[in-house]
Structure 1
Amino acid sequence: MLAQLQVAGEGLPLPSAEATGDELFRLGLLYSTGQGGAPLDYVSAHMLFNLAAMRGSVEAKIYRKELSEEMASDEVAEAQRQAREWLAHG
């Protein structure tokens, strides 16, 4: 089931609060590559990798670290803020 909240107000709907780490990781991959109907959006990808890592995805931890090296510190901070907001609405 998909939640009404969307990443950055654009693109694909976020998964429900019950989404697994693997589901969140796959969605993060779409945003990190701009595929599957998702815009290329590193902030949203980082947010999704962060949430996936919190749900046990080892791959998400690796991708999140690599992605953060390509992002400005304010972008990483925004991704973390969005992750907290998503958790609060879950």
Structure 2
Amino acid sequence: MARFEILEAGIGSIGSNAQADILLELGMMYATGRDCETDIVAAHKWFNIAAIKGSARAAELRAELSASMTKAEIARALREAREWMTMH
């Protein structure tokens, strides 16, 4: 987890395209289970934030992922994304 705390702490100092790319990669990491447990809620959260930052690819992946999620999972992912955006 320290890896993400460091990333999140410094995310405001990089350009918006780079931010979106990094956030997209976080989503991919959780979606595929690369270096972590697969977590579709976390993947949706990061895809959503990346899409807000301007990543069209993240928006596409978020839509694809949503098709396999329950309404409760989507609601939780949206809530977590909103909380993250509020704090950062």
Percent identity over the alignment? 39
Q: How many residues align?
A: 80
- Give the 3-state SS of the residue equivalent to 2:59 in structure 1: helix
Partner of 1:13: 4
Displaced runs of 4 or more, over 3 A: none
Q: How far does residue 81 in structure 1 lie from its aligned partner after superposition?
A: 0.3
* 1:38 Cα deviation from its structure 2 partner: 2.0
Where does residue 28 of structure 1 map in the other structure?
Answer: 27
Return the alpha-carbon distance in structure 2 between the equivalents of residues 39 and 27 of structure 1: 12
Which residues of structure 2 form unaligned runs of 5+?
A: none
CA-atom RMSD in angstroms: 1.8
Write the deviation string for residues 23-54 of structure 1: whole angstroms up to 9, x where unpaired: 0001100000001x221000000000000000
Structure 2 equivalent of residue 75 of structure 1? 73
Q: Which has the higher helix share?
A: 2
Cα distance in 1 between the residues matched to 2:3 and 2:47 = 15
Name the larger-Rg structure. Answer: 2
TM-score (norm 1): 0.81
Q: How far does the alpha carbon of each residue in 1:42-77 deviate from its partner, in whole angstroms, 9 at most, with x for none?
A: 000000000000001010000000000000010000
* Aligned equivalent of 2:53: 55
SS in structure 2 of the partner of residue 13 of structure 1: helix
